[in-house]
Amino acid sequence: MDSFRNRFNIFLIIVSIIIALVGVQLIRFQLIQHVASQRDVPELLKVEPVARGRIYDRNGYLLSGDEAHFELAYDRNGANYERFIQELAPTLGIPPADILALKAQPAILHQQLIKDLPYDLGNLAREKDIWGFTAHPYWKRAYPESSLAAHVLGFVNDDRLGLYGIEGWYNDVLTPTRQADGTFAPGADVVLTIDRNAQAITEEELALALRETGAESGSIIVMNPRNGEILAMASAPSYDPARYAEMAVEKENAFVNPNVSDIYEPGSIFKILTVAAALDSGTVTRDTVYNDTASIEVGGQLIWNWDRGGYGPLDMTGLLAKSRNVGASILAMRVGQQEFYRYLRAFGLGRPTGIDLQHEAAGLLITRDKNPDRWSEAILASNSFGQAIATTPLQMVTSIGAVANDGVLVQPHVVKKIMRGDRVDEAKIVALGHPISRETARTLSDMLAEAVVREVPEALVEGYTIAGKTGTAQIPIPGGYDDPWTIASFIAYAPAHDPQVIVLVKLDRPTSSMWGSETAVPAFQRLATRLFPVLGVRPDSQLTMSNEY
From 142, 175, 204, the end of a domain falls on: 142
Residue 357 sits in the same domain as residue 500: yes
Task: With H, G, I as helix, E, B as strand and everything else as coil, classify residue 342.
Answer: helix
- Of the candidates 481, 486, 545, the one whose C-alpha atom is nearest the C-alpha of residue 518 is 486
Residue 110 sits in the same domain as residue 223: no
CB atoms within 10 A of CB 513: 16
- Whether residue 21 is contained in a domain is answered as no
Residue 219 sits in the same domain as residue 328: yes
Residue 460 sits in the same domain as residue 340: yes
Answer left, alpha or beta for residue 512, where phi above 0 means left and psi between -120 and 50 means alpha. Answer: alpha
CA distances from 9 to 12, 14, 18, 548 (A): 5, 9, 14, 114
Residue 363 sits in the same domain as residue 234: yes
- For residue 221, the cross-strand partners are 233, 504
CA distances from 134 to 44, 126, 392, 532 (A): 16, 7, 51, 53
- Whether residue 33 is contained in a domain is answered as no
CATH number of the domain to which 64 belongs: 3.90.1310.10
Domain boundaries, position 64: 38-142
Query: At residue 447, what are phi and psi to the nearest 5 degrees?
Result: -65, -40
pLDDT of residue 270: 98
- Whether residue 472 is contained in a domain is answered as yes
Q: Using omega within 30 degrees of 0 as the cis cutoff, is the peptide bond preceding 237 cis?
A: yes
From 111, 142, 173, the end of a domain falls on: 142
From 104, 121, 142, the end of a domain falls on: 142
SS3 sequence of 149-197? CHHHHCEECCCCCEECHHHHHCHHHHCCEECCCCCEECCCEEEECCCHH
- Of the candidates 352, 376, 356, 378, the one whose C-alpha atom is nearest the C-alpha of residue 364 is 352
DSSP state of 455: H
* Spatial distance between the Cα atoms of 488 and 472, rounded to a whole number of angstroms: 5
Task: With H, G, I as helix, E, B as strand and everything else as coil, classify residue 73.
Answer: strand
Q: Are 504 and 392 in contact (CB under 8 A)?
A: no
Q: What is the DSSP string of 512-548?
A: S-S-HHHHHHHHHHHHHHHHHHHHTPPP-S-S-STTT
- Whether residue 171 is contained in a domain is answered as no
* Spatial distance between the Cα atoms of 408 and 375, rounded to a whole number of angstroms: 29
Which is catalytic among the residues 268, 281, 382, 445? 268
pLDDT of residue 107: 59
pLDDT of residue 251: 75
When divided into structural domains, the chain yields a total of: 2
By the 10 Å C-beta count (0-12 exposed, 13-18 middle, 19+ buried), 419 is classed as: middle
CA 265 to chain CA mean position, Å: 20
Largest CA distance in the chain: 129
Residue 475 sits in the same domain as residue 330: yes
Residue 210 sits in the same domain as residue 120: no
* Spatial distance between the Cα atoms of 434 and 450, rounded to a whole number of angstroms: 24
- Active-site residue flag, 268: yes
Task: With H, G, I as helix, E, B as strand and everything else as coil, classify residue 128.
Answer: helix
* Spatial distance between the Cα atoms of 533 and 510, rounded to a whole number of angstroms: 29
Q: Which residues contact 103 (CB under 8 A, 6 or more apart)?
A: 76, 81
Residue 383 sits in the same domain as residue 475: yes
- Count CA atoms closer than 13 A to 448's CA, side-chain side: 34
Q: Are 471 and 266 in contact (CB under 8 A)?
A: yes
- Whether residue 376 is contained in a domain is answered as yes
Residue 296 sits in the same domain as residue 408: yes
* Spatial distance between the Cα atoms of 149 and 232, rounded to a whole number of angstroms: 8
pLDDT of residue 541: 63
Residue 134 sits in the same domain as residue 237: no
- Whether residue 329 is contained in a domain is answered as yes
CA distances from 3 to 10, 12, 13 (A): 11, 14, 15
- Whether residue 15 is contained in a domain is answered as no
- Whether residue 491 is contained in a domain is answered as yes
CB atoms within 10 A of CB 429: 12
Q: Are 431 and 259 in contact (CB under 8 A)?
A: no
CATH number of the domain to which 510 belongs: 3.40.710.10
pLDDT of residue 252: 67
In the chain (549 residues long), the average pLDDT of successive 10-residue segments reads 42 42 37 32 50 96 93 80 87 85 67 84 87 86 96 94 96 92 91 98 98 98 98 96 86 89 98 98 98 96 95 97 98 97 98 96 94 94 97 98 98 97 95 98 98 97 97 94 96 96 98 97 98 94 41
pLDDT of residue 82: 85
Residue 126 sits in the same domain as residue 230: no
Residue 447 sits in the same domain as residue 303: yes
